[in-house]
Structure 1
Amino acid sequence: MSIVTEKRLRDRSGNTCEISGVDENLVVYVVEPKTEAIPENCILIAQSLKEQIENKELMNPNDWRGLSDSMWNENLPVQIVSWRMLARLKNHDLLDMMYLDEDALEWAKATGEDEDEEGKIIHKDSNGNILQDGDSVVLIKDLDVKGANFTAKRGAAVHNIKLVWDNAEQIEGRVENQHIVILTQYVKKTK
Protein backbone atom coordinates (compact mmCIF):
# COMPACT_ATOMS: atom_id res chain seq x y z
CA MET A 1 0.00 0.00 0.00
CA SER A 2 1.38 3.33 -1.05
CA ILE A 3 1.88 5.92 1.67
CA VAL A 4 1.06 8.57 -0.93
CA THR A 5 -2.31 6.92 -1.65
CA GLU A 6 -3.17 6.73 2.04
CA LYS A 7 -2.20 10.37 2.56
CA ARG A 8 -4.33 11.49 -0.41
CA LEU A 9 -7.31 9.46 0.91
CA ARG A 10 -6.89 10.95 4.40
CA ASP A 11 -6.78 14.45 2.87
CA ARG A 12 -9.81 13.68 0.68
CA SER A 13 -11.87 12.36 3.58
CA GLY A 14 -10.75 14.77 6.28
CA ASN A 15 -9.16 11.85 8.14
CA THR A 16 -12.51 10.06 8.62
CA CYS A 17 -14.16 6.91 7.30
CA GLU A 18 -15.77 7.81 3.98
CA ILE A 19 -18.82 5.68 4.86
CA SER A 20 -19.45 6.15 8.58
CA GLY A 21 -17.52 9.31 9.43
CA VAL A 22 -15.64 7.72 12.35
CA ASP A 23 -12.02 8.76 12.82
CA GLU A 24 -10.45 5.66 14.41
CA ASN A 25 -9.03 2.39 13.06
CA LEU A 26 -9.03 3.59 9.45
CA VAL A 27 -7.67 1.46 6.62
CA VAL A 28 -7.39 1.78 2.87
CA TYR A 29 -9.76 -0.50 0.96
CA VAL A 30 -9.24 -1.20 -2.76
CA VAL A 31 -12.71 -1.51 -4.29
CA GLU A 32 -12.87 -4.80 -6.20
CA PRO A 33 -12.34 -5.84 -8.89
CA LYS A 34 -9.80 -3.02 -9.10
CA THR A 35 -6.37 -4.08 -7.86
CA GLU A 36 -4.21 -0.97 -8.20
CA ALA A 37 -4.06 0.95 -4.91
CA ILE A 38 -4.57 4.44 -6.29
CA PRO A 39 -7.08 6.94 -4.84
CA GLU A 40 -9.38 6.50 -7.87
CA ASN A 41 -9.84 2.81 -6.87
CA CYS A 42 -9.85 3.12 -3.06
CA ILE A 43 -11.72 4.44 -0.06
CA LEU A 44 -10.65 5.16 3.49
CA ILE A 45 -12.86 3.04 5.72
CA ALA A 46 -13.17 1.86 9.31
CA GLN A 47 -11.54 -1.54 9.83
CA SER A 48 -14.81 -3.01 11.17
CA LEU A 49 -16.70 -1.98 8.01
CA LYS A 50 -13.98 -3.41 5.77
CA GLU A 51 -14.32 -6.72 7.61
CA GLN A 52 -18.09 -6.67 7.04
CA ILE A 53 -17.61 -6.00 3.33
CA GLU A 54 -15.30 -8.98 3.09
CA ASN A 55 -17.40 -11.31 5.27
CA LYS A 56 -21.22 -11.15 5.03
CA GLU A 57 -21.53 -13.17 8.23
CA LEU A 58 -20.24 -10.17 10.22
CA MET A 59 -22.86 -7.75 8.79
CA ASN A 60 -24.39 -5.35 11.30
CA PRO A 61 -26.92 -3.08 9.54
CA ASN A 62 -26.61 -0.43 12.29
CA ASP A 63 -22.96 0.10 11.34
CA TRP A 64 -24.07 1.21 7.87
CA ARG A 65 -26.33 4.13 8.82
CA GLY A 66 -23.86 6.47 7.10
CA LEU A 67 -24.82 5.11 3.68
CA SER A 68 -27.57 7.69 3.33
CA ASP A 69 -24.82 10.34 3.29
CA SER A 70 -21.96 8.44 1.62
CA MET A 71 -24.13 7.54 -1.39
CA TRP A 72 -23.93 11.26 -2.36
CA ASN A 73 -20.14 11.43 -1.98
CA GLU A 74 -18.43 13.02 -5.00
CA ASN A 75 -15.80 10.24 -5.15
CA LEU A 76 -16.80 7.29 -7.32
CA PRO A 77 -15.25 4.50 -5.18
CA VAL A 78 -17.29 5.72 -2.20
CA GLN A 79 -20.44 5.68 -4.34
CA ILE A 80 -19.62 2.15 -5.55
CA VAL A 81 -19.21 0.78 -2.01
CA SER A 82 -22.36 2.62 -0.91
CA TRP A 83 -24.35 1.08 -3.80
CA ARG A 84 -23.03 -2.41 -3.02
CA MET A 85 -23.86 -2.21 0.66
CA LEU A 86 -27.32 -0.75 0.02
CA ALA A 87 -27.92 -3.66 -2.37
CA ARG A 88 -26.68 -6.16 0.23
CA LEU A 89 -28.92 -4.58 2.87
CA LYS A 90 -31.79 -4.54 0.34
CA ASN A 91 -32.42 -0.84 0.95
CA HIS A 92 -34.29 -0.22 -2.30
CA ASP A 93 -35.57 3.19 -1.19
CA LEU A 94 -32.04 4.62 -1.13
CA LEU A 95 -30.88 2.55 -4.12
CA ASP A 96 -33.71 4.02 -6.20
CA MET A 97 -32.39 7.52 -5.43
CA MET A 98 -28.83 6.75 -6.52
CA TYR A 99 -27.63 7.38 -10.03
CA LEU A 100 -24.56 5.68 -11.44
CA ASP A 101 -23.64 5.96 -15.10
CA GLU A 102 -23.31 2.73 -17.10
CA ASP A 103 -19.58 2.18 -16.40
CA ALA A 104 -19.97 2.92 -12.69
CA LEU A 105 -22.95 0.57 -12.41
CA GLU A 106 -20.94 -2.16 -14.12
CA TRP A 107 -18.17 -1.64 -11.54
CA ALA A 108 -20.71 -1.70 -8.70
CA LYS A 109 -22.21 -4.97 -9.94
CA ALA A 110 -18.81 -6.59 -10.54
CA THR A 111 -18.91 -8.48 -7.24
CA GLY A 112 -22.11 -10.22 -8.32
CA GLU A 113 -23.89 -9.53 -5.04
CA ASP A 114 -26.92 -8.01 -6.72
CA GLU A 115 -27.18 -11.15 -8.83
CA ASP A 116 -28.10 -13.30 -5.85
CA GLU A 117 -30.82 -15.39 -7.50
CA GLU A 118 -32.21 -16.78 -4.28
CA GLY A 119 -35.21 -14.67 -3.44
CA LYS A 120 -34.55 -12.18 -6.24
CA ILE A 121 -37.66 -10.83 -7.92
CA ILE A 122 -37.43 -10.57 -11.70
CA HIS A 123 -40.03 -8.57 -13.64
CA LYS A 124 -40.82 -9.80 -17.17
CA ASP A 125 -43.13 -8.41 -19.82
CA SER A 126 -45.70 -10.44 -21.78
CA ASN A 127 -42.94 -11.72 -24.09
CA GLY A 128 -40.60 -12.75 -21.27
CA ASN A 129 -38.24 -9.77 -21.66
CA ILE A 130 -36.70 -8.64 -18.37
CA LEU A 131 -37.92 -5.22 -17.23
CA GLN A 132 -35.83 -2.69 -15.31
CA ASP A 133 -36.52 0.65 -13.66
CA GLY A 134 -36.63 3.38 -16.29
CA ASP A 135 -37.70 1.14 -19.18
CA SER A 136 -40.51 2.10 -21.54
CA VAL A 137 -43.39 -0.26 -22.24
CA VAL A 138 -46.55 -0.32 -24.36
CA LEU A 139 -49.90 -1.64 -23.16
CA ILE A 140 -51.05 -4.69 -25.15
CA LYS A 141 -54.65 -4.59 -23.92
CA ASP A 142 -57.23 -1.99 -22.88
CA LEU A 143 -57.13 -1.82 -19.07
CA ASP A 144 -59.86 -0.49 -16.79
CA VAL A 145 -58.09 1.54 -14.12
CA LYS A 146 -59.73 0.96 -10.76
CA GLY A 147 -60.39 4.10 -8.74
CA ALA A 148 -59.50 6.46 -11.60
CA ASN A 149 -62.58 6.00 -13.79
CA PHE A 150 -60.78 5.71 -17.12
CA THR A 151 -59.53 3.04 -19.47
CA ALA A 152 -55.84 2.86 -20.34
CA LYS A 153 -55.91 2.14 -24.07
CA ARG A 154 -54.02 -0.60 -25.86
CA GLY A 155 -50.89 0.88 -27.48
CA ALA A 156 -50.44 3.56 -24.81
CA ALA A 157 -46.76 4.15 -24.05
CA VAL A 158 -45.62 4.15 -20.45
CA HIS A 159 -42.17 5.70 -20.01
CA ASN A 160 -39.76 5.52 -17.09
CA ILE A 161 -41.49 2.65 -15.27
CA LYS A 162 -40.72 1.73 -11.68
CA LEU A 163 -40.61 -1.90 -10.56
CA VAL A 164 -42.69 -2.97 -7.57
CA TRP A 165 -39.88 -4.58 -5.58
CA ASP A 166 -41.98 -7.09 -3.68
CA ASN A 167 -44.17 -8.25 -6.59
CA ALA A 168 -42.73 -9.52 -9.88
CA GLU A 169 -46.09 -9.11 -11.62
CA GLN A 170 -46.48 -5.37 -11.03
CA ILE A 171 -44.88 -2.18 -12.30
CA GLU A 172 -45.78 1.46 -11.76
CA GLY A 173 -46.07 4.16 -14.38
CA ARG A 174 -48.01 7.16 -15.67
CA VAL A 175 -50.90 6.82 -18.10
CA GLU A 176 -52.97 9.90 -18.97
CA ASN A 177 -51.21 11.80 -16.17
CA GLN A 178 -52.35 9.21 -13.63
CA HIS A 179 -49.84 7.20 -11.59
CA ILE A 180 -51.06 3.59 -11.79
CA VAL A 181 -49.97 0.04 -11.05
CA ILE A 182 -49.90 -2.18 -14.13
CA LEU A 183 -49.66 -5.96 -14.36
CA THR A 184 -46.57 -7.01 -16.32
CA GLN A 185 -48.58 -9.55 -18.34
CA TYR A 186 -50.29 -6.62 -20.12
CA VAL A 187 -47.17 -4.77 -21.25
CA LYS A 188 -44.54 -5.17 -23.93
CA LYS A 189 -41.07 -3.66 -23.51
CA THR A 190 -40.05 -1.17 -26.20
CA LYS A 191 -36.49 -0.79 -27.43
Structure 2
Amino acid sequence: MSIEKSLRKRSQDKCELCAATESLRVMEVSPSDGSAEKSILLCATCEVQINGAELDANHWRCLNDSMWSQEAVVQVISYRMLHKLSVEYSWAQDLIDMMYLEDEIKAWADEGIEFIDPDLEPTKDCNGTALKDGDMVHLIKDLVVKGANFTAKRGTPVRNISLTSNPEHIEGRVNGTRIVLVAAYLKKSV
Protein backbone atom coordinates (compact mmCIF):
# COMPACT_ATOMS: atom_id res chain seq x y z
CA MET A 1 0.00 0.00 0.00
CA SER A 2 1.36 3.44 -0.90
CA ILE A 3 2.10 5.99 1.80
CA GLU A 4 -0.69 8.27 0.58
CA LYS A 5 -3.26 5.45 0.66
CA SER A 6 -2.09 4.47 4.11
CA LEU A 7 -2.38 8.06 5.37
CA ARG A 8 -5.81 8.55 3.78
CA LYS A 9 -7.00 5.41 5.54
CA ARG A 10 -5.46 6.49 8.86
CA SER A 11 -6.96 9.99 8.65
CA GLN A 12 -10.28 8.99 7.05
CA ASP A 13 -9.51 11.31 4.09
CA LYS A 14 -9.14 14.41 6.30
CA CYS A 15 -6.29 16.76 7.12
CA GLU A 16 -4.76 15.30 10.27
CA LEU A 17 -4.52 18.77 11.84
CA CYS A 18 -7.64 20.74 10.86
CA ALA A 19 -9.92 18.00 9.42
CA ALA A 20 -10.31 19.75 6.03
CA THR A 21 -11.24 17.37 3.23
CA GLU A 22 -9.97 19.21 0.13
CA SER A 23 -6.51 19.58 -1.43
CA LEU A 24 -4.89 16.90 0.74
CA ARG A 25 -1.17 16.25 0.38
CA VAL A 26 1.44 14.05 2.00
CA MET A 27 4.21 15.82 3.91
CA GLU A 28 7.23 14.02 5.35
CA VAL A 29 8.17 15.20 8.84
CA SER A 30 11.89 15.62 9.46
CA PRO A 31 13.90 13.66 10.22
CA SER A 32 12.03 11.35 7.88
CA ASP A 33 12.62 7.76 6.88
CA GLY A 34 9.98 7.82 4.11
CA SER A 35 7.47 5.83 6.14
CA ALA A 36 3.82 6.57 6.91
CA GLU A 37 4.75 6.88 10.61
CA LYS A 38 6.94 9.89 9.78
CA SER A 39 4.50 11.43 7.27
CA ILE A 40 1.28 13.36 7.70
CA LEU A 41 -1.72 14.12 5.47
CA LEU A 42 -2.34 17.87 5.34
CA CYS A 43 -4.61 20.32 3.56
CA ALA A 44 -2.98 23.01 1.41
CA THR A 45 -3.64 25.70 4.06
CA CYS A 46 -1.83 23.80 6.81
CA GLU A 47 1.05 22.79 4.55
CA VAL A 48 1.72 26.32 3.27
CA GLN A 49 1.75 27.80 6.78
CA ILE A 50 3.93 25.01 8.18
CA ASN A 51 6.43 25.70 5.42
CA GLY A 52 6.83 29.36 6.32
CA ALA A 53 3.87 31.39 5.04
CA GLU A 54 2.36 33.96 7.40
CA LEU A 55 0.45 32.20 10.18
CA ASP A 56 -3.31 32.61 10.49
CA ALA A 57 -3.71 32.10 14.23
CA ASN A 58 -7.44 31.39 13.99
CA HIS A 59 -6.80 28.51 11.59
CA TRP A 60 -4.47 26.93 14.14
CA ARG A 61 -7.11 26.78 16.89
CA CYS A 62 -7.62 23.28 15.45
CA LEU A 63 -4.49 22.21 17.35
CA ASN A 64 -6.61 22.21 20.51
CA ASP A 65 -8.02 18.91 19.17
CA SER A 66 -5.24 17.49 17.00
CA MET A 67 -2.59 17.73 19.76
CA TRP A 68 -4.41 14.82 21.48
CA SER A 69 -4.04 12.52 18.45
CA GLN A 70 -2.75 9.01 19.07
CA GLU A 71 -0.41 9.40 16.07
CA ALA A 72 3.10 10.52 17.10
CA VAL A 73 3.64 12.47 13.87
CA VAL A 74 0.47 14.53 14.48
CA GLN A 75 1.62 15.25 18.04
CA VAL A 76 5.03 16.37 16.73
CA ILE A 77 3.60 18.81 14.17
CA SER A 78 1.03 20.10 16.68
CA TYR A 79 3.82 20.78 19.21
CA ARG A 80 6.04 22.50 16.62
CA MET A 81 3.20 24.74 15.40
CA LEU A 82 2.10 25.62 18.93
CA HIS A 83 5.70 26.56 19.70
CA LYS A 84 5.76 28.92 16.67
CA LEU A 85 2.44 30.45 17.69
CA SER A 86 3.40 30.81 21.36
CA VAL A 87 5.75 33.67 20.48
CA GLU A 88 2.70 35.90 19.91
CA TYR A 89 -0.30 34.08 21.36
CA SER A 90 -0.67 33.05 25.00
CA TRP A 91 -3.37 30.50 24.15
CA ALA A 92 -0.74 28.50 22.23
CA GLN A 93 1.59 28.45 25.25
CA ASP A 94 -1.36 27.35 27.42
CA LEU A 95 -1.92 24.38 25.06
CA ILE A 96 1.80 23.50 25.19
CA ASP A 97 1.56 23.54 28.99
CA MET A 98 -1.31 21.03 28.82
CA MET A 99 0.34 18.79 26.25
CA TYR A 100 2.13 15.61 27.27
CA LEU A 101 4.63 13.93 24.96
CA GLU A 102 6.61 10.76 25.59
CA ASP A 103 10.35 11.52 25.85
CA GLU A 104 11.14 10.04 22.43
CA ILE A 105 8.34 11.99 20.72
CA LYS A 106 9.32 15.23 22.50
CA ALA A 107 12.92 14.79 21.34
CA TRP A 108 11.65 14.34 17.77
CA ALA A 109 9.43 17.42 18.06
CA ASP A 110 12.29 19.50 19.49
CA GLU A 111 14.52 18.60 16.52
CA GLY A 112 12.40 20.84 14.31
CA ILE A 113 12.41 23.85 16.63
CA GLU A 114 15.06 26.56 16.94
CA PHE A 115 14.83 27.24 20.66
CA ILE A 116 17.60 29.74 21.29
CA ASP A 117 18.98 32.46 19.07
CA PRO A 118 22.77 31.95 19.21
CA ASP A 119 23.26 35.73 19.30
CA LEU A 120 21.25 36.08 22.52
CA GLU A 121 22.89 36.02 25.90
CA PRO A 122 21.87 32.84 27.77
CA THR A 123 19.30 33.06 30.57
CA LYS A 124 20.87 31.97 33.86
CA ASP A 125 19.46 31.17 37.30
CA CYS A 126 20.80 32.53 40.62
CA ASN A 127 23.75 30.12 40.50
CA GLY A 128 24.71 30.94 36.93
CA THR A 129 23.25 27.71 35.51
CA ALA A 130 21.93 28.16 31.96
CA LEU A 131 18.17 27.68 31.62
CA LYS A 132 16.32 26.41 28.57
CA ASP A 133 12.69 26.07 27.49
CA GLY A 134 10.92 23.30 29.38
CA ASP A 135 13.18 23.38 32.47
CA MET A 136 11.78 23.28 35.99
CA VAL A 137 12.88 25.89 38.51
CA HIS A 138 12.09 26.85 42.11
CA LEU A 139 11.68 30.33 43.58
CA ILE A 140 14.46 31.26 46.03
CA LYS A 141 12.49 34.06 47.72
CA ASP A 142 8.90 35.18 48.23
CA LEU A 143 7.71 37.33 45.31
CA VAL A 144 4.67 39.61 45.32
CA VAL A 145 2.88 39.11 42.00
CA LYS A 146 1.58 42.48 40.88
CA GLY A 147 -1.96 42.44 39.49
CA ALA A 148 -2.65 38.88 40.60
CA ASN A 149 -3.15 39.55 44.33
CA PHE A 150 -0.97 36.75 45.66
CA THR A 151 2.56 36.14 46.85
CA ALA A 152 4.53 33.35 45.24
CA LYS A 153 6.25 31.62 48.14
CA ARG A 154 9.89 30.59 48.30
CA GLY A 155 10.32 26.99 47.12
CA THR A 156 7.36 27.11 44.73
CA PRO A 157 8.13 24.96 41.67
CA VAL A 158 7.67 26.45 38.20
CA ARG A 159 7.48 23.70 35.59
CA ASN A 160 7.95 23.89 31.82
CA ILE A 161 9.34 27.44 31.72
CA SER A 162 9.60 29.48 28.53
CA LEU A 163 12.53 31.73 27.74
CA THR A 164 11.86 35.29 26.62
CA SER A 165 13.81 37.63 24.38
CA ASN A 166 15.17 39.24 27.58
CA PRO A 167 17.83 36.96 29.13
CA GLU A 168 16.96 38.28 32.60
CA HIS A 169 13.36 36.98 32.46
CA ILE A 170 11.49 33.72 31.97
CA GLU A 171 7.79 32.95 31.72
CA GLY A 172 6.13 30.31 33.83
CA ARG A 173 2.92 29.32 35.56
CA VAL A 174 2.59 29.97 39.31
CA ASN A 175 -0.70 29.23 41.11
CA GLY A 176 -2.34 28.72 37.71
CA THR A 177 -1.32 32.18 36.46
CA ARG A 178 1.22 32.68 33.66
CA ILE A 179 3.70 35.34 34.79
CA VAL A 180 7.11 36.75 33.93
CA LEU A 181 9.78 36.00 36.54
CA VAL A 182 13.26 37.41 37.08
CA ALA A 183 15.75 34.60 36.46
CA ALA A 184 17.99 35.81 39.31
CA TYR A 185 15.26 34.77 41.80
CA LEU A 186 15.10 31.21 40.47
CA LYS A 187 17.12 28.05 40.94
CA LYS A 188 17.12 25.27 38.35
CA SER A 189 15.70 22.00 39.68
CA VAL A 190 17.67 18.85 39.09
Q: TM class, shorter-chain normalised?
A: 0.7 to 0.9
Equivalent residue, structure 2, for 1:31: 29
Instruction: Give the TM-score, by structure 2 length.
Output: 0.73
Equivalent residue, structure 2, for 1:52: 49
Equivalent residue, structure 1, for 2:104: 103
- Whether the aligned pair in 2 keeps the contact of 1:138 and 1:190 (CA below 8 Å) is no
Q: How does 1:74-93 map to 2 (within 5 A)?
A: 74-90=70-86, 91-93=92-94
Q: Distance in 2 between matches of 1:169 and 1:136?
A: 13
Equivalent residue, structure 1, for 2:89: none
Q: Distance in 1 between matches of 2:119 and 2:81?
A: 17
Change (3 A) 1:157 1:173: farther
- Whether the aligned pair in 2 keeps the contact of 1:13 and 1:44 (CA below 8 Å) is yes
- Whether the aligned pair in 2 keeps the contact of 1:123 and 1:132 (CA below 8 Å) is no
Change (3 A) 1:119 1:161: farther
Q: Distance in 1 between matches of 2:156 and 2:77?
A: 32
Q: Distance in 1 between matches of 2:23 and 2:173?
A: 46
Letter in 2 for 1:101: E
The answer for unaligned runs of 5 or more in structure 2 is: 87-91
Equivalent position to 2:157, from 159, 167, 173: 159
* Deviation (angstroms), 1:115: 2.0
Count residues with an aligned counterpart: 178
Secondary structure in 2 matching 1:115: coil
Equivalent residue, structure 2, for 1:64: 60
Letter in 2 for 1:94: L
Change (3 A) 1:52 1:41: same
Equivalent residue, structure 2, for 1:126: 126
**Larger Rg computed on CA atoms:** 1
Equivalent residue, structure 1, for 2:136: 135
Deviation digits for residues 105-142 of structure 1 (CA, Å, limit 9, x no counterpart)? 2211212x342529989653112221554624362xx5
**Mean Cα displacement is larger for which, 58-67 or 156-165?**
156-165
Q: Distance in 2 between matches of 1:22 and 1:185?
A: 47
Provide the aligned C-alpha RMSD in A: 3.5
Instruction: Give the TM-score, by structure 1 length.
Output: 0.73
The answer for unaligned runs of 5 or more in structure 1 is: none
* Deviation (angstroms), 1:8: 1.8
